[in-house]
Amino acid sequence: MDLARAESLAQKDPERAQDVLREAREQLGEPLDELRRLSRGIAPPVLVDRGLPAALTELAAISPLPVTVEAPALDLPEHVEIGIYYVVSEALTNAAKHSGAESATVEVTRIGEDVRVRIEDDGRGGAAMRTGGGLAGLAGRVASLEGHLDVRSPAGSGTRVEAVIPCAS
């Protein structure tokens, strides 16, 4: 309703229209923050029941590719573990569907106050972040945790997906 009001004010009172838009943006900020908090809290049962190393090992076991997992037991916040789980899940799914890879590796490492998860495959490379694609979705999920996602996928050289997430996020 505020957007419709701003639209109708745009021609006759642009300053008031800007005020209405600013108020609408502020109002949307609160539910958006709440949605981010909620989405951080949705955890797969295996992660809750058995922990991150076991959950990643299970992802590797159900992958069509042979996957090696190096994931020590780390004391990480639950929302960070959930983020890591989904990064690994999506990266392995992409590798199996698109890369032509014969194998992949998953490595989770604590680096100071951050945790890094790296997924590499030996496929054909060429992966790119496209609007609406799985990698773009992952980048958004990692950004919601105040981290960053890096994808390196030169043609003919496999793909490396790396997320660094602050443990205090």
CATH code assigned at 126: 3.30.565.10
Q: In this structure, are 49 and 36 located in the same domain?
A: no
Q: pLDDT digits over 41-67, tens only?
A: 567 888 988 999 999 999 999 999 999
Determine the average pLDDT of the residues in 97-108: 94
Predicted pLDDT at 25:
80
Residue 120 lies in domain: 45-166
Res. 142 pLDDT band, cuts 50 70 90: very high
Q: In this structure, are 17 and 94 located in the same domain?
A: no
Cβ neighbours for 120, distance < 8 A, ≥ 6 positions apart = 104, 105, 158, 159, 160, 161
Q: Give the Cα separation of 18 and 62 in Å (integer).
A: 52
* Tokens 């994931």 -> residue: 71
Predicted pLDDT at 43:
76
> What's the start-to-end Cα distance of the chain, in Å?
34
Q: In this structure, are 19 and 52 located in the same domain?
A: no
Q: Total domain count for the chain?
A: 2
CB 117 within 8 A of CB 162: yes
Q: In this structure, are 148 and 134 located in the same domain?
A: yes
